[in-house]
């Protein structure tokens, strides 16, 4: 196997572990995980969690430093996440009652995931 493929598989595996830890931390806060890696042609959402009428659209980043994780969520990725969230929301029968929030969860080595509620707002 070539090095590029190995690196890609390692990143994929790290992403899955980070999303697992992030979902676990949300479940401990009383949220129910509705979707993992929700994909559309417009973008992907790492996690969708719900508690009552509150729906969290969660971007998960696995990084060594908090600042680099925050910087990784740029304007372009925010717009892709929003577009995917719009599609998901349109497919929900109770969409008018739901309150969406865009959160960030950062998973750092040997630490519990850090949750940043309302990391960005929808346009």
pTM value is 0.90
- Which of 6-10, 49-53, 83-87 shows the lowest mean pLDDT across its residues? 6-10
pLDDT attached to residue 82: 95
Mean pLDDT of 58-76: 95
Give the per-residue pLDDT at 13.
75
pLDDT category, 110, cuts 50, 70, 90? very high
Mean pLDDT, rounded, for 49-57: 97
**pLDDT value, residue 123:** 64
CATH class of 3-120: alpha beta
Break the chain into its structural domains and give their ranges.
Answer: 3-120
Which contacts (CB < 8 Å, 24+ apart) does range 40-43 have? 40/83, 40/84, 40/87, 40/88, 42/80, 42/83, 42/84, 42/87, 43/79, 43/80, 43/81, 43/82, 43/83, 43/84
């Amino acid at each position: 196997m070539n090095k590029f493929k190995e690196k890609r598989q390692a990143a994929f595996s790290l992403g899955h572990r980070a999303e697992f830890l992030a979902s676990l931390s949300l479940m401990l806060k009383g949220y129910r995980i509705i979707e993992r890696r929700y994909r559309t042609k417009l973008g992907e959402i790492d996690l969708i969690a719900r508690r009552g009428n509150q729906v969290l659209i969660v971007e998960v980043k696995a990084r060594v430093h908090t600042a680099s994780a925050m910087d990784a969520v740029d304007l372009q990725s925010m717009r892709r996440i929003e577009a995917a969230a719009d599609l998901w929301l349109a497919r929900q029968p109770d969409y008018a009652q739901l309150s969406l929030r865009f959160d960030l969860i950062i998973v750092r080595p040997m630490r519990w995931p850090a949750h940043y509620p309302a990391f960005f707002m929808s346009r």
